[in-house]
C-alpha cells in the first residue's frame, strides 16, 4: 500500500456519526491491501493526482445502515467506491481500470458520479463491467 492507508479504506462518516467501529478483521484487511496493491495504487500512479475513496470496507452493521447489498464486496474488503472529483475525471479512472488493471467488478455509478471497483486476491476476477 503506497498511496492509500488502511484508515482511508475504512473511513466512514456514517460509521463515525453512529458510533460504529468499522475495523476490518484480518482476512478483510488482507483483501483491502490486495485491492490497493493491484488496483488503487497503480491507478493513482498513472493518474498522478489524488483519488479519493468514498467507501471501502464496511462492517455488517455499517453496510446495513447505508443500504448496501447483503452480498456486497465492501463487506469482504474487496471493493472501493472512488472519485477524482468530477464525472469527467471519474470516467478517465473507469476507462483506465477497464483497459489496464485487474478487477472483479467495475461499475459506473450514476453516470460516473463515482466508480465502484473490486478485486479478489485469489485471482478469480471476473472483469465484470456494469452501469447503475
In the chain the domains, ranked by start, together with CATH numbers, are 6-131 (3.30.1380.10)
* CA-CA-CA-CA dihedral for 61, 117, 6, 44, to nearest 10: -160
pLDDT at 50: 96
Q: What are phi and psi of 55, to 5 degrees?
A: -155, 125
pLDDT at 123: 87
pLDDT at 42: 98
Angle at the Cα of 37 (from 31 to 40), degrees rounded to 5? 95
CB 40 within 8 A of CB 78: no
pLDDT at 40: 98
pLDDT at 114: 98
pLDDT at 31: 98
Extract the residue ranges of the chain whose pLDDT is less than 70.
Answer: none
Amino acid at each position: 500500500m503506497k498511496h492509500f492507508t488502511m484508515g482511508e479504506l475504512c473511513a466512514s462518516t456514517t460509521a463515525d456519526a453512529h458510533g460504529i467501529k468499522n475495523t476490518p478483521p484480518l482476512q478483510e484487511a488482507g483483501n483491502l491491501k490486495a485491492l490497493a496493491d493491484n488496483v488503487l495504487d497503480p491507478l493513482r500512479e498513472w493518474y498522478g493526482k489524488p483519488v479519493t475513496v468514498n467507501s471501502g470496507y464496511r462492517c455488517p452493521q455499517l453496510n446495513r445502515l447505508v443500504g448496501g447489498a447483503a452480498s456486497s464486496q465492501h463487506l469482504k474488503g474487496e471493493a472501493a467506491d472512488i472519485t477524482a472529483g468530477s464525472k469527467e475525471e471519474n470516467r478517465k479512472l473507469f476507462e483506465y481500470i477497464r483497459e489496464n488493471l485487474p478487477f472483479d467488478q467495475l461499475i459506473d455509478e450514476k453516470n460516473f458520479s463515482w466508480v465502484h471497483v473490486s478485486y479478489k486476491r485469489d485471482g478469480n476476477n471476473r472483469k465484470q463491467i456494469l452501469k447503475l
